[in-house]
Amino acid sequence: MSNINISSNFIKKLKQQILASRYVVAKIANAEMLRLYFSVGKMVDNEFKKNKWGAKVTDEIAQRLQQELKGLRGFSGSNIRKMRIFYKEWNMADTICPTLTDKLENMENVILPTMSDKLEKRKNTFGDRVSNEKEQSVINAFLSVLFSHHYEIILKTKTKTERWYYIHKTAQNFWSVRHLRSELNNKSHLQEKQLPNNFERTMPNVLSIKAMRAFKDQYLLDFVNIEDADDEIDERVLENEIVNNIRKFLMSLGNEFSFMGNQFRLIVNEEEFFIDLLFFHRGLQALVAFDLKKNLWSKRT
């Protein structure tokens, strides 16, 4: 065993650097994969229109690709059909991000901006910079979402507003496909602005806006089984189920929450209270208490 003293802080920094690099590589790989699928979808769609093919031709395309590239994965007939749908849905002028199609067809402008581009950006007016930053944020969210998630969103949304809602939420909260499906089935985009609260009366305006964004009107607790429990037992059963499945519950809440504990004891004016579930919200820099009820969730910061 070596006597060289290597600080744990140094190892921690190396670990953070490695993980950060892996994350960047994964983002670049996903962006390139989306670009590839978009391009394949475009090529296939053009050939379908030109040759007036039937839907099952994609199976023949997949078989021919397997002959040319032994062991090729991800290009089955059904996946190629999905790529075509992906292309057709996004091959249009988009009111939120007009250059998205250009970015998908020319990824080098997204991943490797030239120095002249950077210098030109510095010359822009403040308004242009804000607009550029907003557009870049939209594009980054789109490119960080996996193709499987994109396809689910395309299938189950009707408007661009809905589609972008789920893209941003998936990117921000790292939703799995299963969780995304639950959010889509629950129509979470309709619930977000319906949360009853007293944030505007009790918080500064900036903080109340952040608080509204931090919470949803409904939380998906499909891992909880409290059927046949009476009213008195129900809340404690729900609490235990959440604590036992805290990782899944945190995913439902969003990536800004940290679990502090359950049945957290407080003394206020010499009176004893117990908080069912206590969390810390990093964005709000505030403790968040959940008071569990059978038919109503109360949230207070």
| Residue 94: pLDDT over 60 | no
Q: What tokens does 260 get?
A: 């502090």
pLDDT of residue 135: 77
Q: Picking from 7-16, 75-84, 223-232, 280-289, which range would have the lowest pLDDT averaged per residue?
A: 223-232
Q: Which residue has the higher pLDDT, 221 or 49?
A: 49
Q: Which of 41, 73, 91 is the last residue of a domain?
A: 91
Residue 205: inside a domain: yes
Closest CA to 301 of 175, 238, 213, 219: 213
% of the chain with per-residue pLDDT over 90? 26
Q: Picking from 42-46, 121-125, 269-273, which range would have the lowest pLDDT averaged per residue?
A: 121-125
Residue 264: inside a domain: yes
pLDDT of residue 175: 87
Contacts of residue 50, defined as CB under 8 A and 6 or more positions apart, other chains included, come to: none
Q: What tokens does 89 get?
A: 């849905």
| Residue 17: pLDDT over 60 | yes
Residue 253: inside a domain: yes
- Tell me if 268 sits within 8 A of 253, measured CB to CB: no
Q: Which residue has the higher pLDDT, 175 or 255?
A: 175
Q: Write down the pTM of the prediction.
A: 0.58
| Cβ-based neighbour number of residue 155 at 10 Å | 12
Q: Which of 49, 67, 91 is the last residue of a domain?
A: 91
Q: Which residue has the higher pLDDT, 168 or 126?
A: 168
| Residue 238: pLDDT over 60 | yes
Q: How confident is the model at residue 2 (pLDDT cuts 50, 70, 90)?
A: low
* Domain residue limits at 214: 199-300
Residue 187: inside a domain: no
Residue 223: inside a domain: yes
Residue 150: inside a domain: no
Residue 118: inside a domain: no
Answer left, alpha or beta for residue 225, where phi above 0 means left and psi between -120 and 50 means alpha: beta
Q: How confident is the model at residue 211 (pLDDT cuts 50, 70, 90)?
A: low
Residue 26: inside a domain: yes
CA distance 154 to 172: 18
| Cβ-based neighbour number of residue 121 at 10 Å | 14
Our count of domains for the chain comes to 2
- Tell me if 248 sits within 8 A of 279, measured CB to CB: no
Q: Which of 66, 91, 116 is the last residue of a domain?
A: 91
